[in-house]
Amino acid sequence: MPRAKLLPYVVAVVLWAALPGLVSRHVVDLLIFAGLYTIAGLGVSYLLGHCGIVCLAQSMFYGIGAYCVAYFSAQHALPSVVAFAAGALLSAAIAFAVGWPILRLSGHFLALATLALGVIAQVLFLEWDWLTGGTLGIGGLPKLQLFGWELNTPQRFYYLVWPVAVLVMWLKRNLTHSRNGLAMRAMRDAPAAAAVAGVEIHLVKVRMFVLSAILGSLAGSLFAHYVGFISVDSFGIDRSISFLLLAVLGGVQTTWGPALGALFVTLAPELLSRFGEIHAVLFAVTLVIAVIFLPQGLGGAIEQRLRRDSVR
């Protein structure tokens, strides 16, 4: 890569690395949430943008990832890798078992089915208080240890969560430019023709649903380690909607759009809160404006702009 092209990336990395030292602890906290949401939202974004599936069940997998940390790492004092793996496996198994029948549906019906899944999960998280602590939640979750380094400050966690998010974006980019990535976009555009080309539509959808669930669980496990306390309030339908929202807002066709979307949904309410009570309304208005004027999302709009500039 020529040096001039490399420069923006170097600047971005330096800025990213310096950021925790420049902003308040509270903002670092928000940036970490943006990173976590990026990871979970990337799954939702891929399902929507490449498979045409509206997924409102991501809060369930986010919750499973988090509760696995509570159960395995806190209650049974097992290494955190066990909790991460258990969350991912459990999420994958559930996504497969439920995805197999419901992914025969499409469009609104499928969206409603995933919504139902999210609602059921929320109720179970609440009712199974012997496991989840119900509304009281579970506290005292251990901090994450990485090569003997305890991630016990927001700054340290920030340096973990964003590289993970970037890694996931890299994986998404690889998939887009691959055999199955092409197949997914094909079946979204013209399912009958994709079937004639040999694309096993149902199987691909189920696999992507499983993959998205694993990302949700990964984000949930990281979340639990970071906050140290989890309760059912974190895994409601509103969280699923945030994940879908950031995907749409960021632009489902771009690799790094979900990161922009995640930064928006975490930082914008904060920035608007200085306007007092009306901030929720302002946030809603901002969303409406963004959706009307940026139908391709923030990421899509920026990519279009860059492409136009490079053509000139």
- Tell me which residues touch other proteins (CB under 8 A): 171, 174-175, 177-183, 185-186, 188-190, 192-200, 204, 207-208, 211
Nearest approach in angstroms of CB 54 to other proteins is: 17
Tokens of 91: 């999420």
- Please check whether residue 6 is in contact with residue 227, taking contact to mean a CB–CB distance below 8 angstroms: no
Query: How far, CA to CA in Å, does 28 sit from each of 21, 24, 57, 247?
Result: 9, 6, 28, 22
- Which residue is associated with the tokens 């004092």? 77
What lies within 8 Å, CB to CB, of 117 at 6+ separation is 56, 57, 60, 98, 102
Nearest approach in angstroms of CB 261 to other proteins is: 20
Nearest approach in angstroms of CB 177 to other proteins is: 7
Nearest approach in angstroms of CB 99 to other proteins is: 14
Amino acid, single-letter form, for residue 92: A
Cβ nearer to other proteins, comparing 307 with 312: 307
* Coarse DSSP helix, strand, coil percentages of the chain, rounded to the nearest 5 percent: 80, 0, 20
Nearest approach in angstroms of CB 183 to other proteins is: 6
Cβ nearer to other proteins, comparing 31 with 186: 186
Nearest approach in angstroms of CB 181 to other proteins is: 7
Nearest approach in angstroms of CB 164 to other proteins is: 15
Q: CA neighbours within 13 Å on the CB side: how many for 281?
A: 4
Cβ nearer to other proteins, comparing 22 with 196: 196
Q: CA–CA separation, 249 vs 265, rounded Å? A: 9
Tokens of 103: 């992914």
Cβ nearer to other proteins, comparing 194 with 244: 194
Q: CA–CA separation, 246 vs 118, rounded Å? A: 17
Cβ nearer to other proteins, comparing 95 with 175: 175
- Please check whether residue 138 is in contact with residue 70, taking contact to mean a CB–CB distance below 8 angstroms: yes
183-189 long-range contacts (CB < 8 A, ≥24 apart) are 184/50, 184/51, 184/208, 185/50, 187/51, 187/52, 188/50, 188/51, 188/52
